[in-house]
Amino acid sequence: MDIELSQSRVHGRARAPPSKSYTHRAILAAGYSAGALVYDPLNSADTKATMRAVEAFGGDVDRDATEDRLDVTGFNGRPDVPADVVDCANSGTTMRLVTACAALADGITVLTGDSSLRSRPQGPLLDAIDDLGGRAESTRDNGQAPIAIRGPISGGSVSIPGDVSSQYISALLMAGAVTEEGIDVELETELKSAPYVDITLEVLEAFGVDAEQTDDGFSVSGGQSYEPTDGEYHVPGDFSSMSYLLAAGAVAAEEGKDVVVAGAYPSAQGDSAIVDVLERMGADVEWNRDDGYITVRKSDLSGVEVDVGDTPDLLPTIAVLGAVAEGDTRIVNCEHVRYKETDRVSAMAEELGALGAAVTEEADVLTIHGDESELEGAAVDGHGDHRIVMSLAVAALVADGTTTVAGGEHVDVSFPDFFDVLYDLGADVRRT
């Protein structure tokens, strides 16, 4: 589906969807339990993949739309061997979290996904499962899906690189709690995307599971049970998704009016750093943490340097802000952002260039030269990546003329009604 957007001014109140990261972990944590209610979940293509995985392992997930909750009957720490191949679709989070879960089953589990997911690295997690006494193989022997996992593992100690994906650590911690021995994870390299492990620790705590950071990495003791307080868990709002709405307000809010984003309560989400980035760039932004509101107004922005080592999902948003700002915006420590749904570093360089931005791409740095950029409407490609699509839509709000973004349907991964929300804020949006 193509999306046409014309230069627009926006204002009003919007609510970003619930956190995708928290929803994934909450669904799987509920699966590890005897049963739990998950309130305010994100209902998207990615989170549905995790729901299907829980059901494949012997659980059951019923969606109660009236109560906006999921009623999860769990497999109580003992996953069945799935009767069929588990399709993780486009969800890397699902595949990695589920890989460790599969290692608990007494048999072979096969996991696959779409072409994008089958190109993403899984090797370090497969090696870790082998080291823990299981067997994990890439069917093409390239460290990528499809993968086959044989369990059960009983726990132990393992070392793993921290600079490829924090999801490996999250997966091992979640599974380790229900092993006999627990799992100690030693990091071989600096941990990238560390706030996502913080999210995992926060969800584990909410489900009554003790895990901790150690001098060398992370540790979780075995023999634990997943039991959330009162049998329920509430998912917070998603700052990754909020970033597009906040950026839209900063670059395209109507004069004298503002954009208010609701549901912005503090949490372990690293992507709440978007508020700090906007402030550093000179945006008029206020965060009422107690009431969960962020207010932003159109502002004159200046380029800054941003390290996205812990916040890879913010790169597309920051790149768009840089194209509108004065001076250079340098996004550093971003090589790991190349291993997402697509190579987001190259994708943003290419598509912002098509819109008239001046961009310099290096292996680990993306520089946007705002003084040399003049955005004009053009046909751009979302690269089958929800975050690329949404960030380009924000750029279209300030580009002269009309911009056509290919692949608009991919927002279903994390923000299914994104274009409806943008339209309600006043954007000129058309589906073609």
CATH number for the domain including 425?
3.65.10.10
How long, in residues, is the chain?
432
Cis link prior to 152 (omega < 30° from 0)?
A: yes
Please report which helix (H) or strand (E) contains residue 315, including its range. helix 315-324
Pair (197, 246) in one structural domain: no
CB atoms within 10 A of CB 220: 25
State the Cα–Cα distance between residues 203 and 21, nearest whole angstrom.
Answer: 10
Pair (215, 350) in one structural domain: no
Q: pTM above the 0.85 mark?
A: no
Distance separating the N- and C-terminal Cα atoms of the chain: 6
CA separation, residue 420 to residues 282, 334, 389, 401, 429 (Å): 28, 31, 14, 21, 8
Pair (160, 251) in one structural domain: no
Q: For 416, which DSSP code? A: T
Pair (181, 299) in one structural domain: no
Binding-site residue positions for 3-phosphoshikimate: 20-21, 25, 165-167, 193, 313, 340
Pair (120, 248) in one structural domain: no
Pair (316, 392) in one structural domain: yes
Pair (158, 181) in one structural domain: yes
**Tokens found for residue 38:** 């998950």
Binding-site residue positions: 20-21, 25, 92, 120, 165-167, 193, 313, 340, 344, 387
Binding-site residue positions for phosphoenolpyruvate: 20, 92, 120, 167, 344, 387
Range of the structural domain that residue 88 is part of: 20-234
* DSSP three-state, residue 325: coil
Sign of CA dihedral 290, 295, 300, 303: positive
Return per-residue pLDDT of the chain as tens, 432 residues: 999 999 999 999 999 889 999 999 999 999 999 999 999 999 999 999 999 999 999 999 999 988 899 999 999 999 999 999 999 999 999 999 999 999 999 999 999 999 999 999 999 999 999 999 999 999 999 999 999 999 999 999 999 999 999 999 999 999 999 999 999 999 999 998 899 999 999 999 999 999 999 999 999 999 999 999 999 999 999 999 999 999 999 999 999 999 999 999 998 999 999 999 999 999 999 999 999 999 999 999 999 999 999 999 999 999 999 999 999 999 999 999 998 989 999 999 999 999 999 999 999 999 999 999 999 999 999 999 999 999 999 999 999 999 999 999 999 999 999 999 999 999 999 998
Residue that finishes a domain, picked among 191, 217, 234: 234
CB-based burial label for 96 (10 Å; 0-12, 13-18, 19+): buried
Residue that finishes a domain, picked among 219, 234, 249: 234
Pair (30, 116) in one structural domain: yes
Residue 200 corresponds to which amino acid?
T
CB-based burial label for 227 (10 Å; 0-12, 13-18, 19+): middle
Biggest CA pair distance of the chain: 62
Residues marked active site are found at 313
State the Cα–Cα distance between residues 344 and 312, nearest whole angstrom.
Answer: 9
Least Cα distance to 257 among 5, 4, 12, 2 occurs for 12
Q: Which residue has the tokens 């395209």?
A: 252
State the Cα–Cα distance between residues 369 and 328, nearest whole angstrom.
Answer: 5
**Tokens found for residue 377:** 């409407």
Count of domains observed in the chain: 2
The whole-number pLDDT of residue 411 equals: 96
Q: Which residue has the tokens 């790169």?
A: 315
Residue that finishes a domain, picked among 201, 234, 267: 234
* DSSP three-state, residue 152: coil
Pair (380, 350) in one structural domain: yes
- Count Cβ neighbours within 10 Å for each residue of 68-83 and write b for 16 or more, e otherwise: ebbebbbbbbebebbe
Pair (176, 292) in one structural domain: no
Instruction: Say if residues 341 and 308 touch (Cβ distance below 8 Å).
Output: no
**Tokens found for residue 49:** 């993949």
* DSSP three-state, residue 243: helix
